[in-house]
Amino acid sequence: MSDDVLIPDRIVAGYGALTILNGLTFSAPRGQVTTLIGANGAGKSTVLKTVFGLVRPREGDIRLDGVPIAGQTPRELLGKGLVFVPQGRNLFPTLSVRHNFELGGIMLADKALLRRRIDAVLARFPRLAERADQHASTLSGGEQKMLEIGRALLFEPRVLLIDEPSIGLAPKVIAEVFALLRGLAGEGVTVVMVE
C-alpha cells in the first residue's frame, strides 16, 4: 500500500459557472503534515471543501487509502476518518467548552463513547479542561483554536483537514498550534493544512 493516504487527482471544481480548481493533483503522505500555500483567493479553501465533500468535483478523482471518495457526503467521510476544521472561529460562543464538545460530536450515536472521547480530549488539552464550564467566547484565540481541533479529534481522524489554523493568533500561540499538528502527525494522523 502506498504511503500516500489522500490523493486528489486532476480535480476540477468551483461554484456555479466559476471554476476555481482546474486539474489540481497532490498527495498527502501518511503521518505527515502537508501544507498548501498560496495567495488569498487562489482556491486553497476550495481544495479542502472539495476533499471533504462540501463542494462536488466536476472532474477528477479523490482517493483515501486507495478507495475513491469523490462525491461522498461529509457525514460519510467523517465515518471514514476524514475530518475538516474550517477557517475562522466555528464555535458556539455562548455555550461552555464541554457543550461545544457535546454538540461537535453529536453525530456519534453512542453517547457513552462520546463522553469517553471528550474526557480523552480534555486530558490532551489541560487548559480546556480547566475551562470546561466557561463559555467558548471567554477563551483566548489559541484556546478557541484548540477547542476546534479538539472537536475534530472526537472523531479519531485518520486525515485532518485544517484551514488556516494560524489566522488571528499571536506568534507564540501559532507555534503551539503547529507543534500540536506535528504531534498529531507523529501519532499517525495525516494532516493537510492550508496557510
- Nearest-angstrom CA–CA distance, 5 and 12: 20
22 has a pLDDT exceeding 90: yes
**Most confident among 32-36, 89-93, 165-169 (mean pLDDT):** 32-36
> pLDDT above 90 covers what percent of the chain?
83
Decide if domain 4-194 falls under CATH 3.10.450.230: no
> Residue 3 — very low, low, confident or very high, per pLDDT cuts 50/70/90?
confident
Which whole number is the average pLDDT over 63-67? 95
Residue 171 or residue 162, greater confidence: 162
108 has a pLDDT exceeding 90: no
Which whole number is the average pLDDT over 67-89? 93
Size (the chain), residues: 195
> Residue 105 — very low, low, confident or very high, per pLDDT cuts 50/70/90?
confident
- The reported pLDDT for the residue numbered 2 is 59
What are the structural domain ranges in the chain? 4-194
pLDDT digits (tens, 9 = 90+) for 123-155: 999 999 999 999 999 999 889 999 999 999 999
1 has a pLDDT exceeding 50: no
* pLDDT, mean over the chain: 93
81 has a pLDDT exceeding 90: yes
Buried/exposed 12-50: b ≥16 CB within 10 Å, e otherwise: ebbeeeeebbeebeeebebbbbbebeeeeeebbbbbbbb
- The reported pLDDT for the residue numbered 154 is 95
pTM value is: 0.93
- Nearest-angstrom CA–CA distance, 185 and 195: 17
Helix or strand (DSSP H, E) at 129 = helix 126-130
> Residue 106 — very low, low, confident or very high, per pLDDT cuts 50/70/90?
confident
